[in-house]
Amino acid sequence: VEKALLGLGFLRTDFTRKTSEFSGGWRMRIELAKILLQNPDLILLDEPTNHLDIESIQWLEDFLMNSAKAVIVISHDRTFVDNITNRTIEITMGRIYDYKVNYSHYLQLRKERQEQQQKQFVEQQRFIADTMEFVDRFKGTYSKTLQVQSRVKMLEKLDIVEVDEVDTSALHLKFPPAPRSGNYPVIVEDLTKTYGDHLVFKDARLTIERGEKVAFVGKNGEGKSTLVKAIMGEIDFEGEMKLGHNSMIGYFAQNQAALLDGDLTVFQTIDNIAVGEIRAKIKDLLGAFMFGGDDINKKVNVLSGGERTRLAMVKLLLEPVNLLILDEPTNHLDLKTKDILKDALKAFEGTIILISHDRDFLNGLAEKVFEFGNKRVTEHFEDINGFLRNKKLENLKEIERKGK
Protein backbone atom coordinates (compact mmCIF):
# COMPACT_ATOMS: atom_id res chain seq x y z
CA VAL A 1 0.00 0.00 0.00
CA GLU A 2 2.76 2.43 0.96
CA LYS A 3 4.70 1.73 -2.24
CA ALA A 4 1.60 2.43 -4.36
CA LEU A 5 0.81 5.68 -2.56
CA LEU A 6 4.42 6.86 -2.71
CA GLY A 7 4.64 5.89 -6.37
CA LEU A 8 1.54 7.97 -7.11
CA GLY A 9 3.12 10.99 -5.47
CA PHE A 10 1.79 10.96 -1.90
CA LEU A 11 4.00 11.79 1.06
CA ARG A 12 4.13 9.69 4.21
CA THR A 13 2.54 12.60 6.05
CA ASP A 14 -0.46 12.27 3.70
CA PHE A 15 -1.23 8.71 4.82
CA THR A 16 -3.23 9.77 7.91
CA ARG A 17 -5.07 12.68 6.28
CA LYS A 18 -8.77 12.41 5.46
CA THR A 19 -9.62 12.06 1.79
CA SER A 20 -11.90 15.12 2.08
CA GLU A 21 -8.79 17.25 2.59
CA PHE A 22 -7.44 16.43 -0.89
CA SER A 23 -8.26 18.16 -4.19
CA GLY A 24 -10.13 16.38 -6.96
CA GLY A 25 -6.93 15.41 -8.76
CA TRP A 26 -5.43 13.82 -5.65
CA ARG A 27 -8.67 11.96 -4.89
CA MET A 28 -8.40 10.49 -8.38
CA ARG A 29 -4.98 9.15 -7.38
CA ILE A 30 -6.47 7.58 -4.25
CA GLU A 31 -9.13 5.83 -6.35
CA LEU A 32 -6.45 4.66 -8.79
CA ALA A 33 -4.36 3.21 -5.95
CA LYS A 34 -7.43 1.35 -4.61
CA ILE A 35 -8.07 -0.23 -8.01
CA LEU A 36 -4.45 -1.27 -8.56
CA LEU A 37 -4.12 -2.85 -5.12
CA GLN A 38 -7.23 -5.00 -5.61
CA ASN A 39 -5.25 -6.94 -8.24
CA PRO A 40 -8.27 -7.42 -10.54
CA ASP A 41 -8.30 -9.68 -13.59
CA LEU A 42 -8.95 -6.63 -15.80
CA ILE A 43 -8.17 -2.96 -15.18
CA LEU A 44 -10.13 -0.35 -17.17
CA LEU A 45 -8.49 3.08 -17.29
CA ASP A 46 -9.98 6.19 -18.91
CA GLU A 47 -7.34 8.94 -19.31
CA PRO A 48 -5.42 7.82 -16.19
CA THR A 49 -2.50 10.21 -16.72
CA ASN A 50 -4.50 13.46 -16.80
CA HIS A 51 -4.00 14.16 -13.10
CA LEU A 52 -0.54 12.62 -12.73
CA ASP A 53 2.93 14.15 -12.93
CA ILE A 54 5.74 12.55 -14.95
CA GLU A 55 7.20 10.61 -12.01
CA SER A 56 3.82 9.13 -11.09
CA ILE A 57 3.09 8.23 -14.71
CA GLN A 58 6.35 6.32 -14.92
CA TRP A 59 5.58 4.48 -11.69
CA LEU A 60 2.13 3.58 -13.06
CA GLU A 61 3.69 2.30 -16.29
CA ASP A 62 6.04 0.07 -14.34
CA PHE A 63 3.19 -1.28 -12.20
CA LEU A 64 0.94 -2.03 -15.18
CA MET A 65 3.74 -3.69 -17.17
CA ASN A 66 4.94 -5.88 -14.30
CA SER A 67 1.94 -6.46 -12.02
CA ALA A 68 -1.34 -6.06 -13.91
CA LYS A 69 -3.03 -9.10 -15.46
CA ALA A 70 -4.87 -7.30 -18.28
CA VAL A 71 -5.44 -3.63 -19.03
CA ILE A 72 -7.77 -1.70 -21.33
CA VAL A 73 -6.80 1.96 -21.50
CA ILE A 74 -8.22 5.04 -23.21
CA SER A 75 -5.46 7.62 -23.32
CA HIS A 76 -4.08 10.51 -25.34
CA ASP A 77 -0.62 10.07 -23.80
CA ARG A 78 1.31 8.50 -26.68
CA THR A 79 4.40 7.53 -24.66
CA PHE A 80 2.28 5.96 -21.91
CA VAL A 81 0.24 3.97 -24.42
CA ASP A 82 3.33 2.83 -26.33
CA ASN A 83 5.03 1.67 -23.15
CA ILE A 84 2.20 -0.38 -21.64
CA THR A 85 0.21 -1.80 -24.56
CA ASN A 86 0.71 -4.52 -27.16
CA ARG A 87 -2.68 -4.20 -28.84
CA THR A 88 -4.51 -1.20 -30.34
CA ILE A 89 -8.23 -1.04 -31.13
CA GLU A 90 -9.36 1.76 -33.45
CA ILE A 91 -13.01 2.85 -33.63
CA THR A 92 -13.74 4.94 -36.71
CA MET A 93 -16.73 5.56 -39.00
CA GLY A 94 -18.80 2.88 -37.27
CA ARG A 95 -16.09 0.25 -37.70
CA ILE A 96 -13.67 -1.43 -35.30
CA TYR A 97 -10.12 -2.32 -36.34
CA ASP A 98 -8.05 -4.56 -34.08
CA TYR A 99 -4.25 -4.42 -34.34
CA LYS A 100 -2.00 -6.71 -32.27
CA VAL A 101 0.68 -4.01 -31.95
CA ASN A 102 1.42 -0.92 -29.87
CA TYR A 103 0.30 2.57 -30.89
CA SER A 104 3.35 3.66 -32.92
CA HIS A 105 3.32 0.45 -34.98
CA TYR A 106 -0.44 0.79 -35.40
CA LEU A 107 0.00 4.25 -36.96
CA GLN A 108 2.15 2.75 -39.71
CA LEU A 109 -0.29 -0.09 -40.33
CA ARG A 110 -3.23 2.35 -40.39
CA LYS A 111 -1.45 4.48 -42.98
CA GLU A 112 -0.95 1.39 -45.16
CA ARG A 113 -4.64 0.46 -44.70
CA GLN A 114 -5.83 3.93 -45.70
CA GLU A 115 -3.59 3.93 -48.77
CA GLN A 116 -5.03 0.55 -49.78
CA GLN A 117 -8.58 1.80 -49.19
CA GLN A 118 -7.92 4.86 -51.33
CA LYS A 119 -6.54 2.70 -54.14
CA GLN A 120 -9.60 0.39 -53.99
CA PHE A 121 -11.93 3.40 -53.90
CA VAL A 122 -10.37 4.93 -57.03
CA GLU A 123 -10.52 1.60 -58.88
CA GLN A 124 -14.16 1.07 -57.89
CA GLN A 125 -15.18 4.59 -58.93
CA ARG A 126 -13.54 3.99 -62.31
CA PHE A 127 -15.45 0.68 -62.65
CA ILE A 128 -18.75 2.38 -61.73
CA ALA A 129 -18.16 5.17 -64.25
CA ASP A 130 -17.33 2.67 -67.02
CA THR A 131 -20.39 0.57 -66.19
CA MET A 132 -22.73 3.57 -66.10
CA GLU A 133 -21.36 4.71 -69.45
CA PHE A 134 -22.15 1.27 -70.94
CA VAL A 135 -25.68 1.33 -69.49
CA ASP A 136 -26.39 4.84 -70.76
CA ARG A 137 -25.05 4.02 -74.22
CA PHE A 138 -26.93 0.75 -74.77
CA LYS A 139 -30.07 0.97 -72.60
CA GLY A 140 -32.25 1.45 -75.71
CA THR A 141 -30.50 -1.23 -77.78
CA TYR A 142 -32.48 -4.48 -77.97
CA SER A 143 -29.44 -6.72 -78.58
CA LYS A 144 -27.78 -5.36 -75.42
CA THR A 145 -30.81 -5.57 -73.09
CA LEU A 146 -29.58 -8.54 -71.06
CA GLN A 147 -26.10 -7.07 -70.68
CA VAL A 148 -27.56 -3.73 -69.56
CA GLN A 149 -29.85 -5.41 -67.01
CA SER A 150 -26.97 -7.53 -65.73
CA ARG A 151 -24.76 -4.50 -65.19
CA VAL A 152 -27.52 -2.51 -63.49
CA LYS A 153 -28.01 -5.38 -61.02
CA MET A 154 -24.26 -5.56 -60.53
CA LEU A 155 -24.20 -1.87 -59.56
CA GLU A 156 -27.16 -2.32 -57.20
CA LYS A 157 -25.39 -5.12 -55.34
CA LEU A 158 -22.03 -3.37 -55.23
CA ASP A 159 -20.61 -2.66 -51.78
CA ILE A 160 -19.23 0.85 -52.00
CA VAL A 161 -15.67 1.14 -50.72
CA GLU A 162 -15.47 3.72 -47.93
CA VAL A 163 -12.26 5.52 -47.14
CA ASP A 164 -11.65 6.17 -43.45
CA GLU A 165 -11.44 9.70 -42.15
CA VAL A 166 -8.47 11.59 -43.55
CA ASP A 167 -5.87 12.59 -40.98
CA THR A 168 -6.36 16.28 -40.11
CA SER A 169 -2.74 16.69 -39.08
CA ALA A 170 -2.08 18.06 -42.58
CA LEU A 171 -3.54 21.33 -41.28
CA HIS A 172 -0.64 23.67 -40.59
CA LEU A 173 -1.14 26.45 -38.08
CA LYS A 174 0.97 29.57 -38.03
CA PHE A 175 0.83 32.16 -35.29
CA PRO A 176 0.05 35.70 -36.45
CA PRO A 177 3.09 38.01 -36.46
CA ALA A 178 3.87 39.86 -33.24
CA PRO A 179 6.43 42.54 -32.33
CA ARG A 180 9.83 41.24 -31.28
CA SER A 181 10.34 41.03 -27.52
CA GLY A 182 13.45 42.03 -25.58
CA ASN A 183 16.38 39.64 -25.23
CA TYR A 184 15.14 38.29 -21.89
CA PRO A 185 11.33 38.03 -21.75
CA VAL A 186 11.35 36.64 -18.18
CA ILE A 187 13.88 37.21 -15.39
CA VAL A 188 13.21 35.84 -11.89
CA GLU A 189 15.55 36.75 -9.01
CA ASP A 190 15.40 35.11 -5.56
CA LEU A 191 11.65 34.59 -5.73
CA THR A 192 10.03 32.97 -2.69
CA LYS A 193 6.38 32.01 -2.31
CA THR A 194 4.53 30.93 0.81
CA TYR A 195 0.88 30.31 1.58
CA GLY A 196 0.60 30.99 5.29
CA ASP A 197 3.11 28.65 6.95
CA HIS A 198 3.50 26.53 3.80
CA LEU A 199 6.67 27.23 1.79
CA VAL A 200 6.16 26.42 -1.89
CA PHE A 201 9.68 27.29 -3.08
CA LYS A 202 12.51 29.52 -1.94
CA ASP A 203 14.95 31.80 -3.80
CA ALA A 204 13.91 30.67 -7.29
CA ARG A 205 16.17 32.11 -9.99
CA LEU A 206 15.68 31.76 -13.72
CA THR A 207 16.38 33.72 -16.88
CA ILE A 208 14.57 32.82 -20.07
CA GLU A 209 16.02 34.12 -23.33
CA ARG A 210 14.03 35.23 -26.34
CA GLY A 211 13.11 32.27 -28.54
CA GLU A 212 13.72 29.62 -25.87
CA LYS A 213 11.19 26.85 -25.35
CA VAL A 214 11.39 25.58 -21.77
CA ALA A 215 9.48 23.04 -19.68
CA PHE A 216 8.46 23.31 -16.03
CA VAL A 217 8.34 19.78 -14.60
CA GLY A 218 7.96 18.25 -11.16
CA LYS A 219 5.38 16.68 -8.90
CA ASN A 220 2.00 18.34 -8.51
CA GLY A 221 2.04 20.88 -5.71
CA GLU A 222 5.72 21.78 -6.07
CA GLY A 223 5.00 25.24 -7.47
CA LYS A 224 4.98 25.06 -11.29
CA SER A 225 1.62 26.78 -11.70
CA THR A 226 2.42 29.05 -8.75
CA LEU A 227 5.47 30.49 -10.52
CA VAL A 228 3.43 30.99 -13.67
CA LYS A 229 0.83 32.91 -11.66
CA ALA A 230 3.64 35.05 -10.26
CA ILE A 231 4.86 35.77 -13.80
CA MET A 232 1.31 36.71 -14.77
CA GLY A 233 1.01 39.04 -11.76
CA GLU A 234 -1.88 37.06 -10.29
CA ILE A 235 -0.32 36.44 -6.84
CA ASP A 236 1.94 38.17 -4.34
CA PHE A 237 5.50 36.93 -3.74
CA GLU A 238 8.84 37.87 -2.23
CA GLY A 239 11.75 38.61 -4.55
CA GLU A 240 11.95 40.13 -7.99
CA MET A 241 10.31 39.21 -11.28
CA LYS A 242 10.86 41.22 -14.48
CA LEU A 243 9.12 40.95 -17.82
CA GLY A 244 11.33 41.97 -20.72
CA HIS A 245 10.70 44.89 -23.04
CA ASN A 246 7.68 44.49 -25.31
CA SER A 247 6.71 41.06 -23.90
CA MET A 248 3.23 40.18 -25.17
CA ILE A 249 1.95 37.18 -23.24
CA GLY A 250 -0.46 34.52 -24.42
CA TYR A 251 -1.54 32.56 -21.35
CA PHE A 252 -3.36 29.24 -21.32
CA ALA A 253 -4.56 27.45 -18.21
CA GLN A 254 -7.59 25.26 -17.54
CA ASN A 255 -9.50 28.22 -16.06
CA GLN A 256 -9.03 30.30 -19.22
CA ALA A 257 -12.12 28.59 -20.63
CA ALA A 258 -14.25 30.45 -18.08
CA LEU A 259 -13.33 33.76 -19.74
CA LEU A 260 -15.05 32.90 -23.04
CA ASP A 261 -18.24 34.77 -23.99
CA GLY A 262 -21.04 32.27 -23.37
CA ASP A 263 -23.48 34.06 -25.70
CA LEU A 264 -21.32 33.55 -28.80
CA THR A 265 -21.26 30.39 -30.89
CA VAL A 266 -18.11 28.36 -31.34
CA PHE A 267 -17.69 29.74 -34.87
CA GLN A 268 -18.33 33.35 -33.80
CA THR A 269 -15.74 33.09 -31.03
CA ILE A 270 -13.02 32.37 -33.56
CA ASP A 271 -14.43 34.43 -36.44
CA ASN A 272 -14.29 37.55 -34.25
CA ILE A 273 -10.49 37.36 -33.89
CA ALA A 274 -9.28 35.52 -37.01
CA VAL A 275 -7.45 37.69 -39.53
CA GLY A 276 -5.63 37.02 -42.78
CA GLU A 277 -5.61 33.72 -44.66
CA ILE A 278 -6.73 31.67 -41.63
CA ARG A 279 -10.23 33.19 -42.00
CA ALA A 280 -10.83 30.88 -44.95
CA LYS A 281 -9.85 27.89 -42.82
CA ILE A 282 -11.84 28.51 -39.62
CA LYS A 283 -14.00 25.42 -40.10
CA ASP A 284 -10.92 23.29 -40.82
CA LEU A 285 -9.20 24.70 -37.74
CA LEU A 286 -12.20 24.02 -35.50
CA GLY A 287 -12.53 20.55 -37.02
CA ALA A 288 -8.91 19.83 -36.17
CA PHE A 289 -9.72 20.68 -32.56
CA MET A 290 -12.69 18.29 -32.61
CA PHE A 291 -15.50 20.76 -33.38
CA GLY A 292 -17.18 19.09 -36.34
CA GLY A 293 -20.53 19.47 -38.10
CA ASP A 294 -23.15 21.36 -36.09
CA ASP A 295 -20.77 21.76 -33.14
CA ILE A 296 -19.53 25.04 -34.59
CA ASN A 297 -23.03 26.53 -34.18
CA LYS A 298 -23.31 25.63 -30.49
CA LYS A 299 -23.35 28.45 -27.97
CA VAL A 300 -20.30 28.49 -25.72
CA ASN A 301 -22.49 28.30 -22.61
CA VAL A 302 -23.70 24.79 -23.53
CA LEU A 303 -20.22 23.36 -24.13
CA SER A 304 -18.63 20.86 -21.76
CA GLY A 305 -15.55 21.81 -19.77
CA GLY A 306 -13.28 19.96 -22.17
CA GLU A 307 -14.88 21.60 -25.21
CA ARG A 308 -14.45 25.06 -23.70
CA THR A 309 -10.82 24.32 -22.96
CA ARG A 310 -10.20 23.30 -26.58
CA LEU A 311 -11.95 26.43 -27.84
CA ALA A 312 -9.84 28.61 -25.54
CA MET A 313 -6.74 26.96 -27.01
CA VAL A 314 -7.86 27.71 -30.60
CA LYS A 315 -8.52 31.33 -29.60
CA LEU A 316 -5.04 31.63 -28.13
CA LEU A 317 -3.43 30.27 -31.30
CA LEU A 318 -4.83 33.20 -33.28
CA GLU A 319 -3.61 35.97 -31.00
CA PRO A 320 -0.41 37.94 -31.85
CA VAL A 321 1.90 37.19 -28.91
CA ASN A 322 5.64 36.68 -28.44
CA LEU A 323 5.62 34.87 -25.07
CA LEU A 324 3.42 31.79 -24.68
CA ILE A 325 2.78 30.33 -21.23
CA LEU A 326 0.87 27.05 -21.43
CA ASP A 327 -0.26 25.16 -18.32
CA GLU A 328 -1.17 21.54 -19.22
CA PRO A 329 -2.36 22.43 -22.75
CA THR A 330 -2.88 18.82 -23.90
CA ASN A 331 -5.27 17.52 -21.23
CA HIS A 332 -8.40 17.63 -23.43
CA LEU A 333 -6.77 17.05 -26.82
CA ASP A 334 -6.67 13.85 -28.84
CA LEU A 335 -3.45 12.59 -30.37
CA LYS A 336 -3.94 14.16 -33.81
CA THR A 337 -4.85 17.53 -32.33
CA LYS A 338 -1.81 17.40 -30.05
CA ASP A 339 0.39 16.89 -33.11
CA ILE A 340 -1.15 19.93 -34.81
CA LEU A 341 -0.55 22.04 -31.71
CA LYS A 342 2.99 20.73 -31.29
CA ASP A 343 3.90 21.54 -34.89
CA ALA A 344 2.53 25.07 -34.46
CA LEU A 345 4.55 25.58 -31.28
CA LYS A 346 7.74 24.24 -32.87
CA ALA A 347 7.35 26.80 -35.66
CA PHE A 348 6.53 29.62 -33.20
CA GLU A 349 9.33 32.20 -33.30
CA GLY A 350 8.69 33.59 -29.84
CA THR A 351 9.35 32.23 -26.34
CA ILE A 352 7.44 29.36 -24.72
CA ILE A 353 7.03 28.22 -21.11
CA LEU A 354 5.34 24.81 -20.92
CA ILE A 355 3.92 23.04 -17.90
CA SER A 356 3.17 19.50 -19.02
CA HIS A 357 3.35 15.89 -17.88
CA ASP A 358 3.13 14.67 -21.49
CA ARG A 359 6.60 13.37 -22.37
CA ASP A 360 5.83 12.83 -26.05
CA PHE A 361 4.51 16.38 -26.36
CA LEU A 362 7.61 17.84 -24.68
CA ASN A 363 9.98 15.68 -26.73
CA GLY A 364 11.46 17.76 -29.54
CA LEU A 365 9.70 20.88 -28.29
CA ALA A 366 11.24 21.90 -24.96
CA GLU A 367 15.01 22.43 -25.14
CA LYS A 368 15.55 23.20 -21.46
CA VAL A 369 13.95 21.91 -18.25
CA PHE A 370 13.27 23.68 -14.96
CA GLU A 371 12.67 21.11 -12.24
CA PHE A 372 10.45 21.97 -9.27
CA GLY A 373 11.04 19.95 -6.10
CA ASN A 374 12.28 20.11 -2.51
CA LYS A 375 11.28 23.79 -2.29
CA ARG A 376 13.73 24.67 -5.10
CA VAL A 377 13.73 25.37 -8.82
CA THR A 378 16.67 23.71 -10.63
CA GLU A 379 17.72 24.49 -14.20
CA HIS A 380 18.74 21.61 -16.50
CA PHE A 381 20.37 22.44 -19.84
CA GLU A 382 18.90 19.46 -21.71
CA ASP A 383 15.67 18.30 -23.30
CA ILE A 384 13.06 16.18 -21.53
CA ASN A 385 14.59 12.85 -22.58
CA GLY A 386 18.03 13.84 -21.33
CA PHE A 387 16.53 15.11 -18.10
CA LEU A 388 14.66 11.87 -17.48
CA ARG A 389 17.70 9.76 -18.29
CA ASN A 390 19.90 11.71 -15.91
CA LYS A 391 17.31 11.62 -13.17
CA LYS A 392 17.09 7.86 -13.68
CA LEU A 393 13.35 7.96 -13.43
CA GLU A 394 12.93 5.33 -16.13
CA ASN A 395 13.90 2.55 -13.74
CA LEU A 396 12.19 4.29 -10.81
CA LYS A 397 15.23 4.12 -8.53
CA GLU A 398 14.41 7.46 -7.01
CA ILE A 399 10.89 6.50 -6.03
CA GLU A 400 12.06 3.14 -4.71
CA ARG A 401 14.60 4.94 -2.54
CA LYS A 402 11.95 7.29 -1.21
CA GLY A 403 9.76 4.32 -0.37
CA LYS A 404 12.32 2.76 1.94
Give the tens place of pLDDT for each residue, 255-272. Answer: 777 789 999 999 999 999
> Do 80 and 107 reside in the same domain of the chain?
no
**33 and 68 inside one domain:** yes
What pLDDT band is residue 399 in, cutting at 50, 70 and 90? very low
Q: For 63-82, write each residue's pLDDT tens digit.
A: 999 999 999 999 989 999 99
Residue ending a domain, choose from 51, 73, 93 = 93
Least confident of 86-95, 101-110, 223-232, 239-248: 86-95
Whether the per-residue pLDDT at 393 is higher than 60: the answer is no
Confidence of residue 253 (pLDDT cuts 50, 70, 90): confident
Encoded amino acid at 337, one letter: T
pLDDT at 71: 96
* pLDDT at residue 389, rounded to an integer: 83
Confirm whether 316 is domain-assigned. Answer: yes
Confidence of residue 98 (pLDDT cuts 50, 70, 90): very high
pLDDT at 237: 95
Contacts 24+ apart (CB under 8 A), 282-287: 284/168, 284/171, 285/171, 285/173, 285/314, 286/314, 287/168
| Residue 169 belongs to a domain | no
Domain boundary, last residue among 131, 164, 197:
164
- For residue 342, the model assigns a pLDDT of 92
pLDDT of residue 169: 44
Domain co-membership, 270 together with 355:
yes
Mean pLDDT of the chain: 89
| Closest among 41, 39, 59 to 49, alpha carbons compared | 59
Per the structure, the count of domains in the chain is: 3
Question: 122 with 206, same domain?
Answer: no
Mean pLDDT score, 93-107 = 92
Structural domain harbouring 229: 186-402
Q: Are residues 88 and 116 in the same domain?
A: no
Average pLDDT rounded to a whole number, residues 86-99: 91
| 212 and 134 in a common domain | no
In a domain, 234, yes or no: yes
Residue 404 confidence (pLDDT) above 70: no
- According to the model, what pLDDT value does residue 378 have? 94
Domain final position from 93, 113, 138: 93
Who's near 252: CB < 8 A, 6+ residues apart?
A: 312, 313, 316, 324, 325, 326, 327, 329
- Consecutive H or E run containing 361: helix 359-362
Same domain, 285 and 370: yes
Q: Does residue 302 carry a pLDDT above 80?
A: yes
Read off the CATH number of the domain in which 334 is found.
Answer: 3.40.50.300
3-class state of residue 188 by DSSP: strand
Has residue 350 got a pLDDT over 80?
yes
Helix (H) or strand (E) holding 193: strand 186-195
Query: Binning pLDDT at 50, 70 and 90, where does residue 213 land?
Result: very high
CA-based nearest residue to 385, from 402, 401, 365, 355:
365
396 lies in the same domain as 336 = yes
Q: What is the pLDDT, as a whole number, of residue 319? A: 87
The confidence score (pLDDT) of residue 170 equals 54
Tell whether 171 is covered by a domain: no
Tell which wins on pLDDT, 107 or 333. 107
Residues 153 and 190 in one domain: no
Domain for residue 173, yes or no?
no
Same domain, 390 and 307: yes
* pTM (predicted TM-score): 0.78
pLDDT at 212: 96
- Do 297 and 353 lie in one domain? The reply is yes
Give domain status of residue 356, yes or no: yes
Residue 136 lies in a domain: yes
pLDDT reading at 165 higher than 70: no
Checking if the pLDDT of 23 tops 90, the result is no
Domain check: are 257 and 366 in the same one? yes
Confidence of residue 333 (pLDDT cuts 50, 70, 90): confident
> Is the pLDDT assigned to residue 15 strictly greater than 60?
yes
